Chains A and B, each alone.
Chain A
Amino acid sequence: MKILSGLVLACAVGAGSGWSMAQSYQIDVVADGLEHPWSVAFLPDNRMLITERPGRLRLVDANGTLSDPIEGMPEVFASGQAGLFDVLPDRDFLTTQILYISFAHGDKNANHLRVVSARFDGRRLSDVIPIFTAEPPKSGDAHYGARMAWLPDGTLMFGTGDGFYFREQAQQLDSHLAKTIRINADGSVPADNPFVGRPDVRPEIYSYGHRNLQGLVVDAGRGVIYAHEHGPRGGDELNSIQAGRNYGWPMISYGKDYSRAVITPYTELPDMEQPLHYWTPSIAPGGMALYEGTLFPQWRGSLFVAALAEKSIRRVPIDGAGKPGAQETLFTEVDQRMRDVRAGPDGALYLVTDEPEGQLLRVTPRTQ
């Protein structure tokens, strides 16, 4: 286990963080040499699964030993931002051995976000079943969303993207693009989805008006679904996701075109949700975690946001009303694009860096 930094001090910023300058953490490299890793997931036997965007799924054991790519993966469309994205074990993985995997499927002229279920026996995947394919197909290789999370009722939620060129489809309910999607684990549609029964509306849609949703955390204790999404130039958002609501893109935005042109003159419109927080300039949020561990008691209840462009982790404390407080910018000394952040079952924070030689990092209190 390599020590990346043994003497990094955590700075206390903002009210309520409680850290003094004497507190410290250490960052260990768990695995490296990963090609644009996208997600890490924890198995009950203390092993981890990690995805690499080009299409590889690997096991990482407790010693950090990286397996060969797991066989049986479905074919992935890997180009630009497209590739293999998230992996999520079944809620009853010990019994079912089922994984859920999101990835880009198709080719550059016609591709989709796809989610499959697959049986994993510890060595290879089998019984790969597509349970969701975003419609309509789109061209290009950008903006897929793809982050998944389990809801307390056993349904599966994930975000989709607007494909960059098709932002108006965020407002079209006959398209899966730029939405949050909620389905049952077998791919069927929950009867209580907000648009079930409406003609010409995709019944899998839970909320709409998103851009490229890559962070999704279910806070069962507070009863809140937190999600973040990339804005254009500025205007990255942290939202509380509610059934059937319109989050406004592209009709409202706090961001601009990359050319600095105006995409929309509006930041607010009636019947459209405002973000809990937005980031301008963009930090490019790639993943998110809710920390409820014991190794860092002062961080309990905070959201952690992995920032690609800012190369940091943002700690976002959440108050009793579920609203974000003053943020803390962490781990900038790693100086790598942060794709994912997870709270491990051991109480550590795990970071996934989006680099050609990416790493899986573990953050723990500094040992004396």
Chain B
Amino acid sequence: MSMKAFSMPRLLIAFLAAVVVATVWGAVVQTQFNLVALTGIGTDISAGVNLRTTMRDIFSGFTPTYGGYVVLPALLVAFLVAKFVVDRWSGSWWLWFGLAGALGVGLAIPLVNYLSPVALLVGATRDTLCTVLMALGGGVAGLVFVWLLQPARRPLGYPAATA
């Protein structure tokens, strides 16, 4: 499969979908870590409060911050590297884009934290496990990206789209 077979709009849609997936995944993960930290000191967090807080993080300020400063640049670099690898050495797109997405986000989080003027931009990532689990969202994003670029299935009798 070559990326040259895809139109720019299709690539953009796939990339943006990957960014959204990784961003929302990360938002949900870090919300849970913040809430678990509160329950650990005796704060009552009901399922309803958990859900509302998670929705707040997804639909308000965290998403553009995390998506814009961490996920988008991380996946852009990661997917370019993955493309280079599959072009040069072939191999499974699923494997390389998934791995690149996970590594990209996993490295971008501590890098952005380090570059941030405050001690941590994403406070929940003071727990390394949170960073790892947020990075998995980058891996899922890589898989989503590849899935959206798969050739479309054609009805019987119609020729496949040419690359």
Q: A165-B126, A168-B37, A172-B41 are in contact. Are A261 and B31 (CB under 8 A)?
A: yes
C-alpha gap A297/B123 in the complex (Å): 45
C-alpha gap A140/B118 in the complex (Å): 12
Which residue of B has the minimal Cβ distance to A232? B123
Give the interface size class of chain A.
20 to 34
Contacts of A265 in B (CB 8 A): 45, 49, 52-53, 56
C-alpha gap A167/B120 in the complex (Å): 13
Q: Is the interface of B mostly helix, strand, loop or mixed?
A: helix
B38–A264 CB distance below 8 A = yes
Please count how many residues in chain B sit with their CB below 8 Å of the partner chain's CB atoms: 31
B43–A257 CB distance below 8 A = no
Contacts of A142 in B (CB 8 A): 119
Question: A146-186 vs B: 1/0 string, CB under 8 Å?
Answer: 00000000000000000011011001100000000000000
B121 at the interface (CB under 8 A from A): yes
Q: A260-B65, A261-B31 are in contact. Are A140 and B41 (CB under 8 A)?
A: no
Which residue of A has the minimal Cβ distance to B61? A260
Q: A168-B37, A256-B61 are in contact. Are A261 and B123 (CB under 8 A)?
A: yes
A258–B41 CB distance below 8 A = no
B38–A251 CB distance below 8 A = yes
Contacts of B25 in A (CB 8 A): none
What is the minimal beta-carbon distance from A36 to any residue of chain B, in angstroms?
A: 15
A250 at the interface (CB under 8 A from B): yes
Q: A262-B53, A262-B56, A265-B52 are in contact. Are A257 and B122 (CB under 8 A)?
A: yes
Q: A171-B41, A171-B42, A172-B41 are in contact. Are A261 and B122 (CB under 8 A)?
A: yes
**Among the interface residues A232, A256, A260, which one has the most CB atoms of the partner chain B within 10 A?**
A260
Contacts of B126 in A (CB 8 A): 165
A78 at the interface (CB under 8 A from B): no
B66 at the interface (CB under 8 A from A): yes
What is the minimal beta-carbon distance from B105 to any residue of chain A, in angstroms?
A: 14
Q: A164-B120, A165-B126 are in contact. Are A261 and B41 (CB under 8 A)?
A: no
Which residue of A has the minimal Cβ distance to B34? A263
What is the minimal beta-carbon distance from A130 to any residue of chain B, in angstroms?
A: 26
A259–B43 CB distance below 8 A = no
Within 8 A of B (CB), among A7-40: none
